[in-house]
Structure 1
Amino acid sequence: MPEVPPKYDVVILGAGVIGLSIALETARRGLKVGIIARDLPDDVHSAAFASPWAGANWASFASNDRERKWDTATFERLGKWAKSHPDMVKRRQVIYPWTTEGVYPEPWYKDIVPNYRKLQPEEVPSGFRYAIGFDSFSIHPHRFNTFLVAQLRDLGVEFHRRTVSSLDEAYTVLGPTRLVVNATGLGARSLIGVADEKVFPGRGQTILVKAPSVQGVFGWKEPHTPIEQQTYVIPRPGPEGHVILGGCNQPRNWDTQPDMAIAERILKEAFQVCPALSEGGASWKDIEVISHNVGLRPCREGGMRLEMEKRIIGQNNSELVPRLGLNGSGCEVACLHAYGIASCGYQASVGVAEEAIGLIVDYFAGL
């Protein structure tokens, strides 16, 4: 690699909520950051770009202490943003009803969220037998990402729209750098030098509707058949009165077209759990639909990969790497892998970024 001053200390591949959050924590430490992405935060119509399509609320299903730490840190930061940016993050009452005794155990976060309690029979939504309630946050994905981008630009972070097919290219395409953050989401499955076969899509389908009177979040906790189906109602912050209805999580399904059978089921079940969606109408058919949406969540067997890897440019699949990726052949570099967050991006983003910056700082300290 040429001995010239690097333009960027860190190059980040990917501009989803995880890539942006890590970039922000990195730039705040005074490091020079460049972002390379095929899809940028304004690309709200790219189904392969998961961040714009999220229901985007904090409802943790962390399964280990590491994930719980990520989610807890993010919950605390969301509380601050809800006060300073109420059109981006809003504190709301959450109600989770179900009918079959014992199907929904107490969540691990019951001592973290405010006002957690088992609802009295008269408080349980009609047609259900049990419910819990607590306060959490809903997020407007586009405003949230725009907010991150504005902070990044203020810190001098530059965005570059381009597609790279190999990890090696990222070390030279913007000038020489020794550290790349791989936040490519589903792209990590095909990126030469990574090619992680554990990565797969989790197809999600939602409906954006208009229902200004709906202010609370609802999630039907009865097990669905098939199990990949879900029912939730998430009002978005802001004056538009928009609400996201979902949904499903279909593993290894790459189809980006809405399925109208699933859409009808979503509307029917959302109305059952929250009749106010019809704004005075008599049935689910009275709900005002704005759009049908499909997004592909970046899932990974075994959970998210967040780890630092030492590597040498040009050592892996060099016969397939585009010529640009061979410019720094033989140079010792590092890659912080940060992909496979599945549907937890918004509710874990701050905690993931905090752990990531610790790894980044340790790397530079060891040079």
Structure 2
Amino acid sequence: MSHSNSKYDAVILGCGVLGLSIAQELTNRGLKVALVGKDLPEDIHSTGFASPWAGASWHSFATNPAEQRRDEYTFREFERLSKEIPELCERRPYRYYWKNEGSWKEPWYKDLMFGYRLLTPSEVPPPYKYGVTYEAYTLNTPLYLHHLASHLRSHSVLIIRERVSSLDELYSLPSIGKVDLVINASGLGARSLLGVEDPLVHPAKGQTILVEAPDVKITYGVEDTHDIPNQKIYIIPRPGKAGHVILGGIYNANDWSTNVDGDVAQQILRDCYELCPDLDGKKGRGTIGDIRIVAHNVGLRPAREGGLRCELEERVIGNGVKSGNELVPAGGKGKGRKVGVVHAYGIGGAGYQSSLGISKEVGGLVDQWLEKKKSKAKL
């Protein structure tokens, strides 16, 4: 049921995993929403957004209660999804190894995992000395994006390609009509979007290799600090029949390049083959040259100093409003009216594992704004 005289209750800017998840949450709450973005869920080869390139294992690095709450909620939703659609989300063993005592810090989520325990020395392969194992979830990210988009479209949610340069334009898009609420899930776009222009937003370049390795069923990682700055070692099998596995990777803050670095790719292959010889498809009896490479991937994580911005802002848009109004395209100008925006951007590398928890939080902020607007209308 619509809560407004407008055709739509809200417009969501951003068609990555967070925008799609928020649309699903708001639709489930009975709101009519539309999604807009310059990149759509089907654009899985675009470097314009990070979602298609993610490895998407649930491995929380939350540092405060709010982040932990979001990740835990998403974990429990993934548990349900893995039972309903296992080709999208699969529960599997995780193994993390390290050489240096103290590299592994006991995580906050220890009791949330399935079968969490330290490995015995005989279970840890050389050259590593220590290890831990548990079971958690991995996603097939391209299929998951397609699943979310298909679900939304089946519920008559409009998903369209629009290029906007200002927040104000979204309240009066010709293709959608007038709305009073926008959800800003614009990722890296929040840095340059007029009306937001958040200087804390920055890219964190990631580079991985997608390989075909159907024998690899375990998610692996190395917890020691890598000899090369900003480099990590991890292996993430994707659900599905293709037998695809993600090998990584790097985290280069403030690097806008979307080019593949050959030296980085070589290092990723060497590191991951040492960690898991089964990648060669010959049960470790082959060579690194036997690894079947499907693609080299580069994505820009939408990071933000200080972490996620998730908050409600009340605004006034239209003529007579200063604050850069002279730069706003004509479509974003009007007589001046009170509107709302819920910001949800800056999640960095935690997009998938936090997505459903953030969406629930956004839903609460939307309810808060609608209730306040309803109360004012009665006065």
> TM-score over 0.5 for the alignment?
yes
Total equivalences in the alignment: 363
**Corresponding residue for 1:333?**
339
**Corresponding residue for 1:356?**
362
- Secondary structure (helix, strand or coil) at the match of 2:279 reads helix
AA of the residue aligned to 1:297: R
**Corresponding residue for 2:328?**
321
Q: Does 1:289 align with 2:296?
A: no
Question: CA deviation digits over 1:257-290, x for unaligned, max 9?
Answer: 1000000000000011111101114332221111
**Corresponding residue for 2:377?**
none
Q: Does 1:312 align with 2:319?
A: no
Alignment of 1:1-367 (within 5 A): 5-173=5-173, 174-280=176-282, 281-314=285-318, 315=321, 316-327=323-334, 329-367=335-373
Structure 1 unmatched ranges of 5 or more = none
AA of the residue aligned to 2:17: V
AA of the residue aligned to 2:95: I
**Root-mean-square deviation over aligned CA pairs:** 1.1
Once the two structures are TM-superposed, the CA of residue 226 in structure 1 deviates from its matched residue by 3.3
Write the distance in 2 (CA, Å) between the matches of 1:48 and 1:127. 39
Question: CA deviation digits over 1:205-244, x for unaligned, max 9?
Answer: 0000011000000011110133311110000000101000
Check the 8 A contact 1:8/1:32 in 2, yes or no: yes
- Secondary structure (helix, strand or coil) at the match of 1:191 reads coil
Write the distance in 1 (CA, Å) between the matches of 2:76 and 2:160. 31
Question: CA deviation digits over 1:312-336, x for unaligned, max 9?
Answer: 1133311111010103x41000100
Once the two structures are TM-superposed, the CA of residue 125 in structure 1 deviates from its matched residue by 2.5
Write the distance in 1 (CA, Å) between the matches of 2:152 and 2:97. 40
Check the 8 A contact 1:256/1:295 in 2, yes or no: yes
TM-score relative to the length of structure 2 = 0.94
- Secondary structure (helix, strand or coil) at the match of 2:241 reads coil
Write the distance in 2 (CA, Å) between the matches of 1:150 and 1:47. 22
AA of the residue aligned to 2:310: L
Question: CA deviation digits over 1:153-197, x for unaligned, max 9?
Answer: 122210110100000000001211110000000000000000000
- Secondary structure (helix, strand or coil) at the match of 1:100 reads coil
- Secondary structure (helix, strand or coil) at the match of 2:303 reads strand
Once the two structures are TM-superposed, the CA of residue 66 in structure 1 deviates from its matched residue by 0.2
Write the distance in 1 (CA, Å) between the matches of 2:363 and 2:80. 21
Question: CA deviation digits over 1:46-96, x for unaligned, max 9?
Answer: 112100000011000001000000000000010111111110000010000
Write the distance in 2 (CA, Å) between the matches of 1:94 and 1:62. 18
Structure 2 unmatched ranges of 5 or more = 374-379
Question: CA deviation digits over 1:23-46, x for unaligned, max 9?
Answer: 111011111101111000000111
Write the distance in 2 (CA, Å) between the matches of 1:156 and 1:30. 12
Check the 8 A contact 1:9/1:177 in 2, yes or no: yes
Write the distance in 1 (CA, Å) between the matches of 2:159 and 2:32. 12
AA of the residue aligned to 1:290: V
AA of the residue aligned to 2:274: Q
Once the two structures are TM-superposed, the CA of residue 115 in structure 1 deviates from its matched residue by 0.4
Write the distance in 2 (CA, Å) between the matches of 1:48 and 1:284. 32
Question: CA deviation digits over 1:96-119, x for unaligned, max 9?
Answer: 000011122111111110100000
AA of the residue aligned to 2:354: A
- Secondary structure (helix, strand or coil) at the match of 1:115 reads strand
Write the distance in 2 (CA, Å) between the matches of 1:60 and 1:125. 24
- Secondary structure (helix, strand or coil) at the match of 1:111 reads coil
Write the distance in 1 (CA, Å) between the matches of 2:145 and 2:55. 14
- Secondary structure (helix, strand or coil) at the match of 2:30 reads coil
Write the distance in 1 (CA, Å) between the matches of 2:350 and 2:288. 29
Check the 8 A contact 1:28/1:155 in 2, yes or no: no
